[in-house]
Structure 1
């Protein structure tokens, strides 16, 4: 069977050339097809085809008067997504550092990435057992406090679709420990409690012996953009659950305020 047209060395070379075009446009501002072809050492038709693809994705645009190309506004969209994550880490670090020092445990800032959680930042308190460095890691959305917070603040249609997509052939969610909630009904019931009390508690569902408490972080318009959590050994968190929940909620509101939320 022939390889798909979009796979193999030729596809990799095309991606490399397209990225090089973006770098050339960033450096020079405006370039024509002939100039780009010469710089890439490719035929003019190849350069034109690559520019057309970039233009279709909003990453390059043609100037109407001279036929030359410049970077498109799609680049700003991509940069904005990265910038928003950087801003979130920057604006939360002072708050999460203070929280970690106070509670002594690990504090994480987490966002939604597809149907998983993505850990953006982590600060460890003095009592934290440095077993995991979660930054850059992903976890199942249904079995973590951060994931449950993010699920709880989706629309009902979005959360239902997410849970349905995560079920296996038998209709259950992935079981990570004997404590993991694996039915959609059980998770939905917990999501309702999270919305009512304002925070999530997940005990021993991702790992036995690990408990996390998480609360939502809101953007300027009030939308939930992330989750902030404290996690640590279950026996230590359980003894201080109410106090930690209050502190996590206060920290999440403080970060939300730094992001422009005034609620």
Structure 2
């Protein structure tokens, strides 16, 4: 991505011109938002400046935690400091970035498919997916939506909503199997239990033979902004297996929450 592809907004006053160093620093953030991660050389090329200039700009942004180095490989990506400045959209991007290595490890540890979802109006939206070694199929659910009331991810995302927000998120409760919760009072009882124990289960509620367990991902304020789950066939994720695997899901979601600034220890 080049500077020419990034068009700054027009100034508010006639003849208004951006301060060059500020303009370049903001362009670096745009470049990293577009490319994911870049080296100093790539950033300098994108800006059309010398490497030393790019390095000084990156060092300043790093001081404010707006960028960070990736595993000391000389490459940079957006840093967690952006969470203080960004809204929900940017938070979703950060969730995927921070959750992906944790999701991969969870998929390895459990052998099951791991999903990251967020609430999008009246559905849960898949942001990322990692297939475990035991996955029966490799269907990619990223970008697809699922019901909130019939899934473990959805229950987590609903669990701390006010009554008003809960009603708006669930205009109706369609039935998918004979185990789908279709009563609002029963669902509220379930959500109270999710808050108490810190995770949600959905056993044969969306599809017969499908079981999932999810735990909350929180932002630096402690708000639930996403959920992390494992899913697999009910015959494999029986009560005994769930007793072993659910703590791993909870721990993984907590790790992502810490990476996003919640309960961060300095």
Would you say same fold, with TM above 0.5?
yes
Paired residues in the alignment total 198
TM-score, normalized by length of structure 2?
Answer: 0.68
Mapped partners of 1:252, 1:229: distance in 2: 9
Mapped partners of 1:257, 1:26: distance in 2: 32
Partner of 2:195, secondary structure, is: helix
Mapped partners of 2:138, 2:182: distance in 1: 26
Instruction: Name whichever structure is richer in helix by fraction.
Output: 1
Partner of 1:240, secondary structure, is: helix
Q: Is the 8 A contact 2:121 2:169 kept in 1?
A: no
Of 133, 154, 157 in structure 2, the residue corresponding to residue 126 of structure 1 is 133
Partner of 1:237, secondary structure, is: coil
Counterpart position of 2:177: 177
2:97 matches 1:90: yes
> Following TM superposition, by how much is the alpha carbon of 1:185 offset from its aligned partner in structure 2, in angstroms?
1.2
Mapped partners of 2:5, 2:245: distance in 1: 50
Partner of 2:109, secondary structure, is: helix
Query: 1:164-217, CA deviations, whole angstroms, 9 ceiling, x for partnerless residues?
Result: x2x2xxxxx111112111111111111011011100000111111000000000
Partner of 2:166, secondary structure, is: helix
Counterpart position of 1:202: 202
Partner of 1:236, secondary structure, is: coil
Mapped partners of 2:221, 2:204: distance in 1: 34
2:262 matches 1:261: yes
Q: Is the 8 A contact 2:131 2:138 kept in 1?
A: no
Structure 2 unmatched runs, 5+: 18-29, 34-85
Counterpart position of 1:222: 222
Counterpart position of 1:64: 13
* Pair 1:137–1:66, CA change in 2 (3 A): same
Partner of 1:118, secondary structure, is: strand
> Following TM superposition, by how much is the alpha carbon of 1:81 offset from its aligned partner in structure 2, in angstroms?
4.7
Mapped partners of 2:5, 2:127: distance in 1: 30
> Following TM superposition, by how much is the alpha carbon of 1:82 offset from its aligned partner in structure 2, in angstroms?
4.3
Counterpart position of 1:211: 211
Mapped partners of 1:261, 1:85: distance in 2: 15
> Following TM superposition, by how much is the alpha carbon of 1:83 offset from its aligned partner in structure 2, in angstroms?
3.3
Of 135, 142, 167 in structure 2, the residue corresponding to residue 135 of structure 1 is 142
> Following TM superposition, by how much is the alpha carbon of 1:253 offset from its aligned partner in structure 2, in angstroms?
0.3
> Following TM superposition, by how much is the alpha carbon of 1:84 offset from its aligned partner in structure 2, in angstroms?
2.4
2:165 matches 1:158: yes
* Pair 1:24–1:93, CA change in 2 (3 A): closer
> Following TM superposition, by how much is the alpha carbon of 1:145 offset from its aligned partner in structure 2, in angstroms?
0.4
Counterpart position of 2:119: 112
Mapped partners of 1:26, 1:124: distance in 2: 35
Mapped partners of 2:234, 2:121: distance in 1: 28
> Following TM superposition, by how much is the alpha carbon of 1:62 offset from its aligned partner in structure 2, in angstroms?
5.2
Counterpart position of 2:251: 250
TM-score, normalized by length of structure 1?
Answer: 0.68
Counterpart position of 1:235: 235
